[in-house]
Structure 1
Amino acid sequence: MASVVTLGLLAACADTATIDRVSGPRAGFAAVADRSKKAQIGAAAWHQSAAEISAADARTRSMIQGKTVTAETAVQVAMLNNRGLQAAYADLGLSAADVWETALGPVPSVGISVSGLAGNVARTLEATLITAVLDAATAKPRTRVAELRFEQAQLAAAGETISLAVETRRAWIEAVAAFEAVALIKRSQNAADAASELASELGRTGAMNAADQAREHAFNAEIAAELADAKLEAQLAKERLARLMGVSLGQVTFYIPDALPGLPGRPRSRADIERLALQNRVDLAAGRLELEAIAADYKLTGQTRAVSDITILAGLESERDGGETETNPVLDVEFEIPLYDTGKLISRRGALAYLKAANQLAQAAVNARAEARAAHLAVTGKHSVALHWRDVVLPLRRTIDEEALKSYSGMITSTFELLEDARDGLEAQLGAGEAKRDYWLAETDVTAAIWGGNVSAGASEGDKE
């Protein structure tokens, strides 16, 4: 009877406060939506029923059917409709369920087998009771570890959301740039067609030899091949965009602009991008939680000190309390990593798991710094290059075209010299278009550098001996 009563008391040990936090249908999703809002990538949505999926599909159609889609619309549709993202949100729900199950505590059960070979029933009950008591005694630390894994799952879901938004915006930029190139080549195709026809006429009258005729026909054929290739690339780019948006071009018809937006007056980046990356990247936040989870798993409670990522990479186990950490003299940014006392650990596996996670976090911080600096250099550099094409190269090409037209009107130059200049002008326009595309892609990479993405939740459990 005492054993049954004890098991009944164990059943009442559930952590109701934690259960309340994780038992909701969208537990943890508020954190994902909040981080998406801060990153300014759009509104995240988690569909959990056929009605919600149907409503999202209807909203998607109303946003894009027969319309010209902006980058912001494309990203919002992807966040509404991309099934891979919805699968990532399901992983978040599974993590919440793990916390819920752990917080419930041990579920008492007594199984009694009565037969000649059943053994000692009292001993069986005693073993069951001991197991249940041990489960109850370790419920709180196990729940804490599960909660940390749940927080990591929230960061993983946020990382998937940010990654999808960045990838969709890049796909939109590449698609629009591809269609812009098609429009430029089409204009040159018209001039090439005219030159080819003129060459044929002059050839019939004997005013142009066969070699010159072939030269103009070849140019026309090359432009035609280039146009066909550009059209194919534009269609493939649109298909990639539609896939990320979660729609089928066979079922939904939408359009994209014929040209990218003009360049902003200044590149959209900040000199303190390194600090912003260390503050906001989801992979670094997940790495911190991994350290905390391992510390909780192995009952490490004494935080001895905190060091920077540079220090920890130099040697985690060396004492650096009195040493100086080298920091950036301009931005003065530092990413601190908490260290716990691993000396009390009996398990060598636990110490190594902690050291591994700490060094991985330090390396991730170093990578984040480098990626942020590279993104800032790229966006400012690409902006300067695109401005050079727009403000220097293209005006010079226009001057050449205008003077060539005057010379042609005065019978100083031939038609074919005029077309040769037009040919060079096309190359300049395509170069300017590519430079503008590269700038907008670099600007999108700034978002990825600051916020990160593609975080794996619960990267290391750290088996105990």
Structure 2
Amino acid sequence: MSSYFLSRALFMQQLSRFRVRVRLLCVVGAPWLLSGCVTFSPDGGMSVVANVAGHELRKDVVAIRTPQEAEQASDAVRSFLRRPLTADTAVQIALLNNRGLQAAYNELGIAEANRVQASLPPNPTVSVGRLSGPAEIEIEKRIVANILSLATLPARAEIATQRFSQAQLRAAEDTLRLAADTRRTYYRAVAQRQLAAFLAQAQSAAETATQLARRLGETGAMNKLDQARDQVFYAELTAQLATARQRATSERERLTRLLGLWGADANLKLPSTLAALPRRPLALPDIEVEAIRRRVDLQIARIEVDLMARSYGLGQATRFINLLEVAGVSKTKKERETGERVRDDGFELEFQIPIFDLGEVRVRQAEHSYMQAVNRLTEKAVNVRSEARDAFRAYRSTYDIAAHYRREIIPLRKIISDETLLRYNAMMIDVFALLAEARQRINSNVAAIEAQRDFWLASVDLATAVTGGGVAGGGGATTAVAAGGEPAGH
């Protein structure tokens, strides 16, 4: 019996020494763990977004988080709205006033909070239990710390930092996407306004001609067939004008939504015509290289590959351990008869024995997830090069087409129109020839406006192909139907 108590005494002595060492390790290691903790950045992670917006868009961005910042943004928006909008001012208003973009910046704040949380050591768990029996009362206090979480803290913190970098680039991508959508909608809205104004002029001239034809018909100077031709020409122009005005209103409303405007601020001042074509188109011989270097979505994919590699290494390190905890246990007993308190100290160690799952499943999952990220990055790089080439070809093609209308087709149409009117006044041709030429002139002018619009849309698509911010938007607006029932430009 004495040997039992001697063995127990030796065990408790060793246990006491172990407990002291554990406490000493916690005291010494705590500053090291806390030194690895990160804090919130002063700008909430907006530095990357601001750099991308400043370099690629030459615009300012702000994450509105206080009433003062909201008021400053509103004042800036109102100052922009006092003047007729340009594409650049429309983009700046959207970046300051679009609430969907602000929600994307809130996602960035959430990602930063997750990064800070991942850098913190796990909190110890304290539990207190009370057991009452016929002879004594036992109170057990337990402090539990997850050793595995402590061991993998640096790796997990690094992964969280990379995730935060991804979130910053996604916020930058959302910024670029909003800017591109705003520019496209702006060009469509101005083009539809210009088209509606042109058709209104054509309809006014056709109305005057129709009234003259009616008076000539009453005097017998114009037959019924020619009167009907003139009247149907005016009726078709009236329908076309109504369609153009409806589309202009819809594009204006779409632009208003992107700018985040409502109430009195929604009274936009749009220019009457699109901006003139540049004197020379851009020459981008290294557009593929620039796209690979600057595309934001490619940078996000590269980080994803790196994250998968780090996660794969972490999975290898912990493949045989699912749970490992050390628990400091303190028990206080109070005997009912004597009321004396007796305290026992000790520790418990718990871990999972890998009998059935040897970690192979997690390792295989990590390997395939990593290769999946690599293959997607490779595919995206191939697609980016193709998108850049296609966007540049479309840009040059639309520039050449719009310039051809401006230099060749429209001047020739004016000459034909003037000569046809002279021959009609000299009674050398009938009204049918005059109306046919008028239809063709309207078709050419409508096609010229749409070609100019398509060039500016292609310029936006070219920018997004190089920097990111969404797939190319294409021509977008529906081609207007010219008088006579044929699509404009055909």
* TM-score under structure 1 length normalisation: 0.82
Which one-letter code corresponds to 1:217 in the other structure? Q
1:449 to 437, 453, 465: 465
| 1:105-142 CA distance string (max 9 Å, x none) | 222342222224999947x54xx13x1x2221111000
Which one-letter code corresponds to 2:219 in the other structure? T
Distance 2:108 2:184 in 1: 26
SS at match of 1:91: helix
1:412 aligns with 2:428: yes
- Give the drift of 1:213: 1.7
1:268 aligns with 2:282: yes
1:232 to 216, 223, 246: 246
1:19 aligns with 2:42: no
Q: Which has the higher contact order (CA 8 A, sep 6+)?
A: 1
1:63 aligns with 2:77: no
Distance 2:299 2:138 in 1: 53
- Give the drift of 1:292: 0.8
Distance 1:166 1:346 in 2: 41
1:35 to 46, 52, 67: 52
Q: Does the aligned pair in 1 maintain the 2:203–2:238 contact within 8 Å? A: yes
Percentage of matched positions with identical amino acids = 37
Residue number in structure 1 paired with 2:156: 142
Q: Does the aligned pair in 2 maintain the 1:95–1:153 contact within 8 Å? A: yes
Larger strand share, 1 or 2 = 2
| Displacement over 6 Å in runs of 4+ | 117-120
Closer, same or farther: CA 238–346 of 1 in aligned 2, 3 Å: closer
Distance 1:413 1:210 in 2: 17
More off after superposition, 412-421 vs 247-256: 412-421
Q: Does the aligned pair in 1 maintain the 2:226–2:432 contact within 8 Å? A: no
1:171 to 153, 172, 185: 185
Larger Rg: 2
| 1:194-216 CA distance string (max 9 Å, x none) | 11101210121122233322221
1:282 aligns with 2:299: no
Q: Does the aligned pair in 2 maintain the 1:41–1:75 contact within 8 Å? A: no
Residue number in structure 1 paired with 2:346: none
1:247 aligns with 2:261: yes
- Give the drift of 1:4: 6.2
| 1:203-248 CA distance string (max 9 Å, x none) | 2112223332222111111111111110110111011111111112
More off after superposition, 205-214 vs 27-36: 205-214
Q: CA RMSD in A?
A: 2.6
Residues matched between the structures, number: 406
Which one-letter code corresponds to 2:76 in the other structure? R
- Give the drift of 1:408: 3.4
1:77 aligns with 2:93: yes
| 1:277-316 CA distance string (max 9 Å, x none) | 10011111011101111111222799xxxxxxxxxxxxxx
Closer, same or farther: CA 370–298 of 1 in aligned 2, 3 Å: same
Q: Which runs of 5+ in 2 are unaligned?
A: 1-18, 317-359, 472-490
Distance 2:257 2:191 in 1: 18
- Give the drift of 1:156: 0.2
Which one-letter code corresponds to 2:38 in the other structure? I
Closer, same or farther: CA 13–114 of 1 in aligned 2, 3 Å: farther
Distance 2:315 2:131 in 1: 49
Which one-letter code corresponds to 2:402 in the other structure? A
Residue number in structure 2 paired with 1:318: none
Residue number in structure 1 paired with 2:308: 294
Distance 1:395 1:17 in 2: 72
Distance 2:56 2:283 in 1: 14
* TM-score under structure 2 length normalisation: 0.78
Which one-letter code corresponds to 1:453 in the other structure? G
Q: Does the aligned pair in 1 maintain the 2:401–2:451 contact within 8 Å? A: yes
Q: Does the aligned pair in 2 maintain the 1:160–1:453 contact within 8 Å? A: yes
Q: Does the aligned pair in 2 maintain the 1:47–1:53 contact within 8 Å? A: yes
Closer, same or farther: CA 249–402 of 1 in aligned 2, 3 Å: farther
1:206 aligns with 2:220: yes
Q: Does the aligned pair in 2 maintain the 1:41–1:165 contact within 8 Å? A: no
- Give the drift of 1:16: 4.1
Closer, same or farther: CA 389–137 of 1 in aligned 2, 3 Å: same
| 1:129-167 CA distance string (max 9 Å, x none) | 3x1x22211110000000000000011000000000001
Distance 1:119 1:171 in 2: 74
Which one-letter code corresponds to 1:193 in the other structure? E
